[in-house]
Every structure is written in C-alpha cells, then in structure tokens.
Chains A and B, each alone.
Chain A
Amino acid sequence: MGHLAVKNLSKIYGSPDSTGSVVALRDVTLEVQNHQFCAILGHSGCGKTTLLNIAAGFEPPTTGTVAIDDVPIRVPGWQNTMIFQDYALFPWMDVCQNIAFGLEMKKLPAHKRKDITSHYVDLVGLAGFEDKFPHQLSGGMRQRVAIARALAVQPHLLLMDEPFAALDAQNRTFMQDELVRIWQREPKTVVLVTHSIDEAIKLSDCIAVMTRRPGRVKEFINVNLPRPRDEDDIAYLQLRRRLRDLIHEEV
C-alpha cells in the first residue's frame, strides 16, 4: 500500500522536435518503499516540481511511468494527494470543513467525517481552532490544516512541494519536527521536494539528488541516522558535506 516506482520518466515541454522545447526531466528512475520518507533535493529549475506534478496526476509524462503499487498514475485523486507550498486552503471553509472536504468527496457518511476530522484536528494540534477560517490563522497553523486535510483521506502517497518555504526560520524548524512526529504516528509514503539540505536530512529515509536541467537523479542516498536527528552528530555533518558537494557541482 504505497510502493512508489518512477520508471524512465521524461518530460518535455513543447513539441520534441521544435527548437523551443524544454527538457525538464530526462530518464528519471526512482523507487520509494512503502511508508518511506523520500526527499528530492535540487536547485530550483531542476525539474523536481515537474516530477511531483506528474506524480500528483496534474501533468502527463512525455515518456515513462509513475506507479503506486504497480498501478500507473494518470489523474489526480486522494490516493496520491499533494500538499502545496502556499497551503491552498479553501478560504470560504473553516478548519473543519477544509479537513473534511476530501472525506466528503470520498462520500463518507457525516458521522464518520466528523470522527476522522476531529482525530486529525487533534493529531496536528489544532484543537480550539476548528471553526476558524484560513485568513484568521498564522502560516504555521495553515500548514497544519493542509497536512491534516491531506492525511485525512488516507493517501497511499503523500506529495509535498516545499511545504515549509513560506515559513520563517523558527516556525520552519518547529513544523519540520511536527511533521516527523505526525509521520511517525501515522506512517505514509512521502515524497518531499526541497532545496534545503538540512530539511532533507532531518526528515527523510532517503534522498534523491537531482542534476540541473534536464533533471536526472544524480545520486540516491539512504539516510541511516537514528531519529530524532542530531545536527551536531558526526555522521549528520558528513552527510551534509557530501550533499553540499553534490549540489555545488551543479552550480
């Protein structure tokens, strides 16, 4: 339930023969085991968001496939749901209605929706804010709503597009710890796109480092550090140096 396989994936914008075409991804192959947390690390413009959009079903691949448990992804849906950088909360719905939206789309009966919603309100720490609207919440709290809304539909694959980029440094660190806590409570296969080396090390089981355009997986690294991750640990520092070198080669 959530084994992700990306096979020989390429994405070319514009017609392949014309001079104006842009190769965003070339021959990307990647595998993420069930309930693993995978970070995709790369500079902006390396095609990592394109990879995520294809996995979410928003864009079709030019060649190759993205599959969950051997079922190719073709359309967006709750199985492969996405958390956005700008949260994309529905401004006319309060916290509960936002979280319950996907459940309503799944046609769950009202009492079940209520139970699941209140479970996730508690899990992400939003108790007491159930009837607040997004514009009444801080950035960190909006991100919590977005996480709860995505988890509530029980996705097989959770996609995150630089989810903490819009937060200030303190909130970002705090929300990263929160994400790990929530993910350990309810494990999911997660693919998180980031350009922050520390974020990748802190959160993930494996890191795919991307090359510059056209994007390819340059190196796939398993992170075998105990959680919670200690930034002063020697292995952490070594890994950070290695990732920095890999990234710097791409500048």
Chain B
Amino acid sequence: MNASTQSEDVAPASRAAGVRTSWLFAFLPNLTLLVLAILAWQFASTVWLPRVDPHMAVLMPAPTTIARTGAGMIASGELFFHLLASLKREASAFVIAATAIPLGIAMGWWRLVYNQVNPIMEILRPIPPLAWIPLSILWFGIGDEQNEFIIFLGMFFPILVNTIVGVKNIDPNLVRAARSLGAPEHKVLTRIVLKGSLPQIITGVRIGLGVGWMALVAAELVGANSGLGFLINDARSMLRTDTIIVGMLTIGVVGLLIDTAIRVLGRRLLPWSLALSR
C-alpha cells in the first residue's frame, strides 16, 4: 500500500523532469549560431583586431574581458547599485502611471468621459517620451523626478489604451447577465467590468513596463547621477567599452525578466483567461 502510493508520487515528478531535460536537449542546438558568433567575436578581439589596429581593439572588448569586468562589478556591488537605482525609478513611475487604469475604465465605460478625455490623449500620445526631456529638465531639474516623469510618460499610454480596449471588448451579455441577477451599477463596474478587462490591463502593464524601461535608460543618459543609463554613459567618457557592454546586457536581461515576471504573474492570477495562457 505504502509502496504503491510512493511510486505514484514519484512517477509524475520524474516524468516532468524527463520532459524538462528533453526540452533542453531539443533547444540546445538552437544556440549553435550564438556560440559560434561569440567565439568569432573572441577571436576578432584578442587575435585579429590587435594585429590590424591596436586602437580598434579597445572599442571591441573580448567576451572574456566583459565577463571579467561584469564579475568585478557584481562583486563590488557597483552593478547592483545602479540596477537598484533604475528599478526604483521604474517602480515609482509605475505607481503614478497606474492611474491610467481607473482613467481607462472610466473612458471605456462612460461615453461622456471618453468623448471629453480622448481628444487630449490623442494629442499627447504621439509625442515620444524623449521629446519631453528638455521641458522636463526645466520643470524638475536633473534628478529622480525628471527621470520618473519621462518613464511615467512611456508607461501611461500603453496602459491607458489597453485598459480602454479591455473594457470595450467585454461581452455585453456578461453585463446584462449581472444586471439580470440583480447587480447594482457599482457592482457591475467592480465585479464585471474591472474583472473582465484585467487580462487586457495586464497586457497593457507589460507593454508599459517595457516602454518605460526603454525611456528610463534614455532619461538616465541625460539627467541622472545613478542608474544603468548613467552607468553606460559615464563609462563612455572613460572609454570603458567593457563596462558599457556589461551595462547594456544588464538592461536587456532585466527588461526580459520584468516582462517574463508579468506574464507568469498574469497567468497565475487569471488562470481563466485564454488570452493570457497563450
């Protein structure tokens, strides 16, 4: 009896592990080109470029050099310091940009609000966040507020537009069904409209955080004393190409991690959503 339950417990786990390793083996060959490219890069930086023009070699640090620099920056806490500064800006900007969710719901639900607010949004939306940098520096000076303002602008519109679409795409029969079961208007709004548009809102948050992350780096290039954008721009002035590339890779990896985290979170929180499970 005991043995049989044990084997039942073990079977699915080992099967899952089997699936995972076989998936890994199927995926690994896809990395052939990447590995070859890194090897060619290594060869060019350490053997070929120094022979052709030693000055050029400085502009193209070898993968091993970059790895060494990266490890050193992690050990000293320098990379973490700048990463934390950037993440803090991204987070505070998101808190403010989240106001796009209630605004989007109001615009999606009440025609009057949409008709009044939409013209303003349509004028502001096509202006790239980076075009706000000169004005924002005059308004806020150089520092966190100015940075966060630029990031906020990058996040706000994707979240707003997706929330509006989410509300407008709710099956009208769900709203009717709720009313027909006796739901008062405020319950229809919270239990049906908000709930039903959540998958699309999460998609908006994903896109918003992505755009915000791009705007963040640009904002830090110009007006900051910390952060990953500052790090790579500061390294430029000292010709530290290895530091620049470590910073760039960090920006890429963290951007991917944020995106993946939101996706996983969305799937966990809204298991019923077919749109998110895709």
Contact = CB atoms under 8 A, between A and B. Distances in A.
**Chain A interface, DSSP helix/strand/loop, else mixed:** loop
Contacts of B187: 105
A61 to B, nearest CB: 17
Given A92-B272, A135-B272, A82 B176 contact: yes
A153 B177 CA distance: 12
Interface string B16-55: 0000000000000000000000000000000000000000
B272 A58 contact: no
Contact of B174 (A58, A82, A90): A90
A80 B179 CA distance: 10
A105 B178 CA distance: 9
Contacts of B198: 92
A150 B178 CA distance: 11
B191 to A, nearest CB: 8
Contacts of A86: 171, 173
Nearest to B269: A92
Interface string A26-65: 0000000000000000000000000000001110000000
B171 A149 contact: no
A82 B192 CA distance: 17
Interface in B171-200: 171, 173-174, 176-184, 187, 191-192, 195-196, 198
The 10 nearest A-B residue pairs measured at CB: A102-B181, A78-B182, A88-B177, A76-B179, A88-B173, A105-B182, A82-B180, A76-B180, A105-B183, A81-B180
Given A90-B178, A135-B272, A135-B274, 15 more contacts: A57-B180, A76-B180, A80-B180, A81-B180, A81-B182, A82-B177, A88-B177, A90-B177, A91-B196, A92-B195, A92-B270, A102-B182, A105-B181, A134-B272, A149-B181
A183 interface: no
Contacts of A76: 176, 179-180
8 contacts: A76-B180, A78-B181, A82-B180, A84-B177, A88-B177, A91-B273, A135-B274, A149-B181
A149 B187 CA distance: 17
| Most chain B CB atoms below 10 A, which of A86, A101, A133, A135 | A101
A153 B195 CA distance: 22
Interface residues of B, number: 23
B102 interface: no
Nearest to A105: B182
Interface string A66-78: 0000000001111
B77 interface: no
Interface string B155-175: 000000000000000010110
Contacts of B191: 101
Contact of A88 (B171, B183, B273): B171
B271 interface: yes
A58 B173 CA distance: 11
A92 B192 CA distance: 9
Interface string B260-273: 00000000001111
B173 A84 contact: yes
| Most chain B CB atoms below 10 A, which of A76, A134, A149, A150 | A76
B185 to A, nearest CB: 11
A49 to B, nearest CB: 12
A82 B271 CA distance: 27
A106 interface: yes
Contacts of A92: 195-196, 198, 270, 272-273
Contacts of B273: 91-92
B272 A77 contact: no
A106 B178 CA distance: 12
B173 A91 contact: no
Given A86-B173, A88-B171, A88-B173, A101 B178 contact: yes
Contact of B272 (A57, A91, A149): A91
Contacts of A81: 180-182
Contacts of B171: 86, 88
A77 B177 contact: no
Nearest to A90: B174
Interface string A16-32: 00000000000000000
